[in-house]
Structure 1
Amino acid sequence: MESTTYQADALPASPLLRLPFEIRLMIYEYLLLPSTTPTTGNGTSVANLIPDFHTYLSDDTNNDACTLSVRTMDPWLGSQGPKTWRRRSTYHIRTGPFLTTTTPTTYRVLLSPYTSHLRYTVPSLLSLNQQIHAEASKILYSTYTFAFHTSIEAAVPFLSDLTPRSRASIRHISITKKALPYSKEFDRAEWASLCEYLATPSSPSDDDSSETVPPISLRTLNLNVISGKPDHGWDAITPITPSDFDTMLRMKNEWLGGNGDFGGVDLEWVEQVMAIKGLQEVNVKAMVERCASPVSEKQAFWIAFSKSVDEGGFGEWVRGRMIR
């Protein structure tokens, strides 16, 4: 823990640090944990009401007291935003009617009626000094689930902007895989980049080159998967079983050398997720949307895969490989 500046009487300079550590924890929790009752005051920014850019409607936004939703900001809104937004890492996203151009933007954190007080308590508390930041940030970042939904491109910039100790305190993350038939190459690249970042075992500390601080030490991963259900339903569809997934993955790795899709089956993104170690809980949820009847191998696989996600077979397979 960082050293504290001492006065002549050998007591910490900050009155807060003169309190017993247990009392300080109670204060941190009071200021940083979700409110027990939602507020309807002006603590929630109007900017949080603006629709997200190129994302699905998320059911994890503002309805879970312990969730903080991180979203990519509309690039045209960013230039009009406050100066605090401009200090965050920027990245380029696809824009235009055919997503053929790129525009720089950044992320924003959505505050719910249960977390609107964080707009004031986080900057006023964590900026007091290094020791208070180290103690309070652990409470903040280990408590909340950081939900990126389909804003996968925002995850690495958000995590990279945190201090090493804050980043290492994060325990819960929620991400959403876009519908498989409609994933573009840039979607796959962003997904691979995030999984590689989360799977990286360690990185040097910013404040002590001799100390190694893990960039993140996850305990819970919430994996939402956009799933397709035709108008005629799934009754005639045979879901894919965990043993089927094992067979498909083995055939891909043995027959195709681990590269490419096997008969329209895209499992590379799952292998990238499975590289994340140390998890104690993996929750897989289907976010079902209407889709057209299958006219290709890829579409047919997605529909069968979607039924497996919804009925739990895919989640059972993923947990069996990720949690030992």
Structure 2
Amino acid sequence: MLEEEVSPFLLLSAEIRLQIYAYLLDDGGNQWLAIRNHPDSRYKDEAIQKRSTRYHVMERNSIFNRRGYETTYHLASSHAHFHTAIMSTCRLVYHETAHILYGTHNFDFGHDIEAVVPFLQDRTPYTRSLAAGISIYKRAPLPCLDCTREKYEWAFLCRYLAETRTLKRLRLIVEGGRPGKPWEGVQTLTESDFRLLSLIRHDRLEWVTELSQVKGVTELDVVSDMRYLPVPKSPETALYAAVSASVETGLKNFLWSEMGTVT
């Protein structure tokens, strides 16, 4: 019986194979890969991979004119050039390239949080376990608008991450508002304040409670993206200003105390 022929590629040393992989899976020297929703016009014009899950998103351009459409996610990093056909050659190559593609990168979803769950669900169990670092942007609710769908998307995302328990690294960017001068009421919130508001499930901080259910995180970075906010005239706006002022202190400490705990 003839011996099974071994591909010459597999006879190369691991170091040379890694150099070839680096050429075929060129990330442009960036550890972060941007994953975004396809814009409506691009989705209609481009051929979308059949294996990519489709989902519905709602535009957020105006509080008066919001339009929904079906789309899917795509790689939005212009610096990255990936030739992934090599991954289907054999099991060994698949595992080696999967580690490079997913295990050495973090995935930045920006404010397109609808894309996170479909992206992770479309991965195999092996690559899903490797894609352990993500970045998401938590937008402030639009004024005078019922953001029920956005609340649902956030709750769905947090529930999925809590159930799969594969998330290890999280960068959370929180949109906040900073008044030009002090206002009446509490100016900042401590870790204990966030814990109390989470325990009573305050409706304005429901998103914090939902995120805190995700456990096993080993790296957590929480930063604020501050916008102008008029001096608060209502208790709701005053709380929003206090939360915004505490994103990188009280909120970060609370989330780390909850999410960094393996249960």
Instruction: Label 1:127 to 1:150 Cα distance change in 2 as closer, same or farther (>3 A).
Output: same
Q: Which residue of 1 aligns with 2:69?
A: 103
Scaled by the length of structure 2, the TM-score of the pair is 0.85
Residue in structure 2 matched with residue 316 of structure 1 by the alignment: 253
1:9 and 2:3 matched: yes
Provide Cα deviations, 1:278-297, integer angstroms capped at 9, x if missing partner.
Answer: 21111100011112322322
Kindly state the Cα deviation for residue 245 of structure 1 after the two structures are TM-superposed: 1.4
Q: Higher relative contact order by CA 8 Å / sep ≥ 6: 1 or 2?
A: 2
Structure 2 residues without counterparts, runs of 5 or longer: none
Aligned position for 1:93: 57
In structure 2, the residue matched to 1:209 is none
After superposition, where does 1:63-212 map in structure 2 within 5 Å? 65-81=30-46, 83-85=47-49, 87-95=51-59, 98-99=64-65, 101-113=67-79, 115=80, 117-118=81-82, 121=83, 123-180=84-141, 182=143, 184-201=147-164
Q: State the partner residue of 1:230.
A: 179
Judging changes above 3 Å, is the alpha-carbon distance between structure 1 residues 218 and 141 closer, same or farther for their aligned structure 2 residues?
same
Tell me, in whole angstroms, the C-alpha distance in 1 between the residues paired with 2:225 and 2:187: 19
CA distance in 2, matches of 1:90, 1:124: 22
Corresponding residue of 1:205: none
Name the aligned partner's letter for residue 177 of structure 1.
Answer: K
Number of residue pairs matched by the alignment: 257
Matches of 1:34 and 1:130 in 2, distance apart?
Answer: 23
Q: Deviations over 1:288-322 (max 9, x none)?
A: 11123223222111111000114x22111211222
Tell me, in whole angstroms, the C-alpha distance in 2 between the residues paired with 1:179 and 1:138.
Answer: 35
Three-state SS of the structure 2 residue aligned to 1:136 is: helix
The counterpart of 1:284, out of the listed 222, 236, 240, is 222
Percent of residue pairs identical: 33
The aligned counterpart of 2:17 is 24
Q: Quote the Cα distance in structure 2 between the aligned partners of 1:11 and 1:287.
A: 57
Whether contact under 8 Å (1:75, 1:106) holds in the other structure is: no
Counterparts of 1:163 and 1:100 in 2: how far apart (Å)?
A: 34
Q: Is there any run of 5+ residues in structure 1 with no aligned partner, and where?
A: 1-6, 37-64, 202-215, 253-257
Query: Helix, strand or coil: the match of 1:276?
Result: coil
Task: Select between 228-237 and 152-161 the one with higher mean Cα deviation.
Answer: 228-237
Indicate yes or no: 2:168 matched with 1:219.
yes
Counterparts of 2:256 and 2:108 in 1: how far apart (Å)? Answer: 20
Task: Classify the secondary structure of the residue corresponding to 1:196.
Answer: helix
Shift in CA distance, 217/27, structure 1 to aligned 2, threshold 3 Å? farther
Q: Counterpart of 1:149 in 2: which secondary structure?
A: coil
Residue 235 of structure 2 is aligned to residue 270 of structure 1: no
3-state SS in 1 of match to 2:217 = coil
How far 1:174 sits from its partner (Å)?
A: 0.5
- What is the deviation of 1:88? 2.2
Residues in 2 aligned to 1:69 and 1:35: alpha-carbon distance in whole angstroms: 12
What's the CA shift for 1:34?
3.3
